[in-house]
Chain A
Amino acid sequence: MFGQPKLNTREPRLDWLMVAGLFGLMVFGVLFIYSATMSRESAQDLAIWNQTYFKQIVWYVAGIGLAAIVCLVDYPILTRWSLVLYWLSILMLCSLYVIGSDNGWGAKRWIKLPFFQFQPSEFAKLAFILFMAHFLSRPMDELRSPKVFLKGLGLMALPFILILKEPDLGSALVFFPVGLVMMFVAGVPVQFLRRLIAGVGIVVALVLVDVLFAPKNLQFIKLEDYQKQRLLVYFGLDFAPPGATPEEKKRWENIQRQKTYNIDQALISVGSGGLTGKGWREGTQNALGYLPRAVAHNDFIFSAIAEESGFVGSVMVLILYTVVLFTGIRIASQARDRLGKIMAGGVVALLFSHVFINIGMNIRIMPVTGIPLPLLSYGGSSVLCSLIAAGLLQNIYIHRKSY
C-alpha cells in the first residue's frame, strides 16, 4: 500500500527551526528546575542522579528517543493502530479506579511502575489525537453529516468523562479545545462547531452559577471541594456561604487564605521579577519557600522563570513556544494529506492549550489546574508526551512529500 518514503535529499529531513525552539525550551527547563530545587539544602546533598534537574535531562533524552522512534514510522501506519491505542488508553483510564495510586488528595491519576509513575491521561491525549485524526480524515461529505459529528463528540466525551472522574478537571478540559480545533481543521461545518461552542458555553455558565451561587439544596452539580474552591478563588468570591456566623466566617477566611496562597505567591514571584528579573538563582520567593516547594519546579515553574529572568525572560519563553506552534501550523499546511493536517492541528492545539492554561494560571487569568507547562515543568509523563507530540509533527514533516 504505502511505499517507503522517498526522501528528497535537497529538502531538509527535519524542521530544524522547531527543533531549535524545542531545544531552547529544554535548556530553560533544566536551568530553572535546577534553580527551583537547588535552593533546598536537602537537595544539595543528593547524588547527581537523584537531582531533579538531572532526572529531567534523562526524561528529555528518553523523550527525544521516543520521538525519533515515532518519526521512523510513516504516520498513516501509526494511525492504523490508533483504534487500538485509543481503546488501550480508555482501558488504562478505567483501570485507574482499581490500581491507580493516590496523589495524597484523593485523586487517582497515576499508575505506579517500577521506575516511575505513569500518568495515563497524558497518554490518552496522544491516543485521542491519533484516533480523532483518523476518524476525521474521512471524505469531506461525511463530515457534513450530524451523525459523524456526534460520533466525533462521543470520542471526545469518553476520555473527558473518565479523566474528569479521577478527578482531574484540568486535563479533562484540554480534550475540548483539542477536539474542537481538529474538527475545525478537518472541515466540519462551522455552524456545527458554533452550536457546540454555544451549547457548551451555556452549560458551563449554568454549572458555574449553580456551583458558585446556588444555595446548598439547589446544587445539582457536585464538584469536589477543592475544585469549587479553585473556582471561587478564580472569580474572587468569598468562601464563606452567605449567612455564616462570624466564627464560621473566620474559619472560611482561614481556608481561603490557604487556598489562595499558591496563586498569591505566584503573582508576587512573577510581578516582583520586573523587566529583567533578579538573576538566575537569585529569586527569593522560591529560595525562602514562599512559593511552595512542592509546585515550584512543576506546575509553577513559570513563576520561578518569570521572577528570576523578568519580563524579558518570560517573553523569550513565549517566543520559543510561538516558534514551535507556528512551525507546527506550517507543517500542517505542508502535510501531504488531510490526515497529516488534522493530526498536526491537534498537536498544535494540545501544546497551545497547555501553554495558555499553565502560564495563564501563573498570572491569574486562568483558574488553578494541575496542567503542566510542556517541556518546562518537571515530570516524566508530561515531557514524554510533549516530545512524542513534537515527534508526530516531525513525522508529518518528514513524510510530507511521499505521495
Chain B
Amino acid sequence: MLVVDQLKRGDPRLRWLAIGVLVGMFVLATGLWFLQVVNNKKYEKNLIAQSYRSVRLPAVRGRILDRNGVVLAESRPSYNVNLYLEELRPSFQDQYFVLKSNALYRIALENKELPKEQRKRYTSSMRFELEAKARYLVVRSLMNRISRILQVPLELSEKEFRKHYEEKRSLPLPVAENLSPAQVARFTEGASTLPGVDLQVQSLRSYPLGSTAAHILGYMTRTERAPGEEEEIEFDYRLPDFKGAVGVEGTFDEQLRGVAGAKTLLVNNMQYRQMENVWLPPKPGEDLFLTIDAQIQQAAEKSLKAQGFIRGAVVVMDVQNGDVLAMASAPTFDPNAFVPSISHDEYARFNDAETKPMLNRASFGIYQPGSSFKIVTALAALEAGKLKPSEQFYSKGYYPLGRDSRMKCTAGAGFFDFHRAFIKSCNCYFADHGLQMGLDPILRMGHQFCLGEKTELPTRQDLGGFFPDIGTRRRNMGGPWTDGDTANLSIGQGDIAVTPLQMTVLAAAIANGGKVYWPRLVERLESEENGFRKVTESFDSGRLRNQVKVNPANLRLVQEAMRDDVADSEGTGKLAAVPGWQVCGKTGTAVIERRGTEANRITWFVSYAPFDAPRYAVVAMVENGSSGGGACAPIARRVYEALQKMEQTSSLGTPNLAQRN
C-alpha cells in the first residue's frame, strides 16, 4: 500500500518525512473529529443563536356568546401596513451613495481652505451616521407616499425607527394600523407596487354589540407576554397581543387566548430576515358561552337608561337554577375603545372617580338594602313565632330609639297588620318586631341566604358585602351593639351591605321555596378542531348553595305580601305591575346620612315573577333615586315586559328555562 510502502522504504530520511506528513494529517483529522463530531452540538447551538430568531405568534382569541349563540365578543381581521426592511436594502444603498457623494463634496470644499494637517477625512463613524440617515430617509419617503394613498397622516420619528432597526431588524416595521375598508381598497390599488410594503392581517378583539354586557365581558389590554404563560421557548420577539383585564375576558383569559404558536426567522449577518418558517401554528382559543340572554341584557340596560339615572344596576336571574340572564350596570363603557389602544381622554373618562363606569355595580358595588331587607326580617320573625300576621300594631309615624333619636317612617301613623306593614313598608312595625325577637334570629335568617359572602362570580368583580356574624356584640363601624342597631338592621340599614346580585339570589330563593343557588354566569367552553365542535368544560346549572329552613306557610305569607306590594293600590311597588303576570316585589330606600345630611339614597326593587309559577328574579338598584317604588319598580316593569315579549316570540320560549339545561 502506498502509505505503508513509504514507511518501510529504505531511505531513512524519506521515511521520517513520510512519518511527519502522516502525523500532520492525523493531527488535522483529530482536530476535525473534535470539532465536527465531539463538539458538534455546541457549534450548532452557536449557529442557531446567531442566525435564527424565534417569534411568538398570538393565537386567534375565542368568541364569547350568549346562551342562544349571539356573538358578544369576537376576533375580527384588522389590516395593517408593514414595511419589510430587508427588501429595502437596495434603496438604502442608493440613498447612502447620494448622501456620501454630497458629504465627500462638502469635505473637499472645506479642505480647500484648510492647511494640510487640518484637512478632514471621511471616517467610518461618518459612514455609519450617513447609512442610518439614508435608511431613515428611505423609510420616511415611503411612509409619505403611503400616507398620501391612505389619506391619513403617518408619523415615525427617527429615534423610533432606529430603535426598531437596532432591536428588531428582522421583523416588519408597522407603519399604519387598523385600516378602514376604504383604505384597504386604496392601498391595494395604489401602494401594492411600492417596494417592501405589504398588508398584514392581524386579529383584533371586537364587541359587535358595543357596550352590551360590557361589565360581564370585561376588556382587553395590550401585552407582549401573557401573564403566567409557561414559556418553554425563550422567544426573541413577541408580536403584539392582548390579555383580558377583568370580566370573563380576564377570568377565562387562558382558555380564550388559546396557545400561541411560534415561527423562526433565518437572519443573515446583517440581521435582516432571509427566510421564515412557522413550525408551531397557534391554536385558536375556546369559545365561551354565557348564561346571559343578549336580548334580556339589552332590555335591562335600556330600561336602566330609560329611567335617566346615572348610576344603578339590574340583575335578572332564572329562579329555578340561578342562571344569570342579564346583569347590567350603569354608567357603562364600550370595550371596543380599548382595541387596539385606548386614548388618554377616554381612559380618564372610564376611570372617573365620581361615576366609575368600569365598576360592575351589580356584583362589585355594595349597598345597604334598606326596606328590601324586610323580607328577611319578616321571615325571621315569623319563624321565631314573634309575629302574628293578623295582630294589629299601632305606629306613631316614627319609632323612638333611645332618648333623642327617632326612626323616620314614610308609612304614616295608624294601625298595621303584617300585610299592610309590608306593602306600605312600615319601619316602625319591623323595627318593633326586630327588637322583640332580638338580633340573632335576624342574623341566622340572613346567613341562610348567604349574605355577606361572595357569590364567586367569575368576573374578577365580586364582593361579599357585609353581614354581622351570629353572636356579634360590637358594631362593624365601632362601638357596642345597641338595640338601636338591631332596629336599624331590621329595616336594612346600618351594619349591612349587599350587592344587587346577592339580593337577586335572595329573591330567587323566596320564589323557589328557599333554594339558594350559586349564580351561574358561564355555561360552557367549546373548542373547534378540524370542524368538529367539542365541549371542553361545562359548568353545572342549579348548583344548590343552601336550602333555607323555613315553614312553607310562612314563606307563602311573605310571597303573598310581595305580590300585593305590587298588586295592591296601596303597595309601594305598584309601578312594577305588568299585565298578564303577577309580579312579587319589595321596594327599598336606604338613606345614607353623613354628618346629619342626606348624602346618598340607595333605592331598590327586589322582585320575581310570575307569582304562581316563578321563573325570573329581577333586582333593580339605583343610586340617588327618589324611592324604591318610584325609581326602581318601573325599571323592573320594563324588564318583565321584555321577558314576556321574549317568551312569546322565542321559538324556544319554554315556560321554564330550567328545563333547557
Please report A residues at the B interface, Cβ cutoff 8 Å.
17, 181, 184-185, 187, 267-268, 270-275, 284-285, 288-290, 306, 310-311, 314-315, 318, 321-323, 325-327, 329-330, 332-333, 341, 345, 348-349, 352, 355-356, 359-360, 363, 365
Q: Tell me the complex Cα distance, A26–B223, Å.
A: 57
Q: Which residues of A contact B126 (CB under 8 A)?
A: none
B268 to chain A, nearest CB (A): 4
Q: Which residues of B contact A359 (CB under 8 A)?
A: 28
Confirm or deny: B17 has a beta carbon within 8 angstroms of a beta carbon on chain A.
yes
Q: Which residues of A contact B39 (CB under 8 A)?
A: 271
Q: Which residues of A contact B235 (CB under 8 A)?
A: none
Confirm or deny: B345 has a beta carbon within 8 angstroms of a beta carbon on chain A.
no
Q: Which residues of B contact A318 (CB under 8 A)?
A: 25, 28-29, 32
Q: Tell me the complex Cα distance, A273–B40, Å.
A: 7
Q: Which of B1-47 contact A (CB under 8 A)?
A: 2-3, 5-6, 9-11, 13-14, 16-18, 20-22, 24-25, 27-29, 31-33, 35-37, 39-40, 42-44, 46-47
Confirm or deny: B392 has a beta carbon within 8 angstroms of a beta carbon on chain A.
no
A295 to chain B, nearest CB (A): 13
Q: Would you call A311 and B21 a contact (CB within 8 A)?
A: no
Confirm or deny: B269 has a beta carbon within 8 angstroms of a beta carbon on chain A.
yes
Q: Would you call B40 and A271 a contact (CB within 8 A)?
A: yes
Q: Would you call A311 and B24 a contact (CB within 8 A)?
A: no
Q: Would you call B40 and A272 a contact (CB within 8 A)?
A: yes
Please report B residues at the A interface, Cβ cutoff 8 Å.
2-3, 5-6, 9-11, 13-14, 16-18, 20-22, 24-25, 27-29, 31-33, 35-37, 39-40, 42-44, 46-47, 50-51, 266-270, 274
Q: Which residues of A contact B13 (CB under 8 A)?
A: 184-185, 187
Closest to B10 in A: A333
Closest to A277 in B: B36
Q: Given A268-B47, A311-B37: A288 and B267 within 8 A (CB)?
A: yes
B471 to chain A, nearest CB (A): 71
Q: Given A326-B6, A333-B11: A310 and B36 within 8 A (CB)?
A: yes
Contact of B40 among A274, A315, A329 (CB under 8 A): A274
Q: Which residues of A contact B16 (CB under 8 A)?
A: 184
Q: Tell me the complex Cα distance, A356–B25, Å.
A: 8
Contact of A290 among B5, B42, B43, B50 (CB under 8 A): B50
15 CB contacts below 8 A, A to B, read: A184-B13, A184-B16, A267-B35, A270-B43, A273-B40, A285-B47, A314-B32, A315-B32, A318-B32, A321-B25, A322-B22, A322-B25, A326-B2, A327-B2, A330-B2
Q: Which residues of A contact B33 (CB under 8 A)?
A: 311
Q: Which residues of A contact B28 (CB under 8 A)?
A: 318, 355-356, 359-360, 363, 365
A292 to chain B, nearest CB (A): 8
Contact of B36 among A17, A181, A271 (CB under 8 A): A271
Q: Which residues of A contact B5 (CB under 8 A)?
A: 330
Q: Would you call B14 and A289 a contact (CB within 8 A)?
A: no
Q: Would you call A356 and B3 a contact (CB within 8 A)?
A: no
Q: Which residues of B contact A330 (CB under 8 A)?
A: 2, 5-6, 9
Q: Would you call A365 and B17 a contact (CB within 8 A)?
A: no
Closest to A284 in B: B51
Q: Would you call B32 and A311 a contact (CB within 8 A)?
A: yes
Q: Tell me the complex Cα distance, A330–B17, Å.
A: 11
Q: Given A185-B13, A356-B24: A274 and B44 within 8 A (CB)?
A: yes
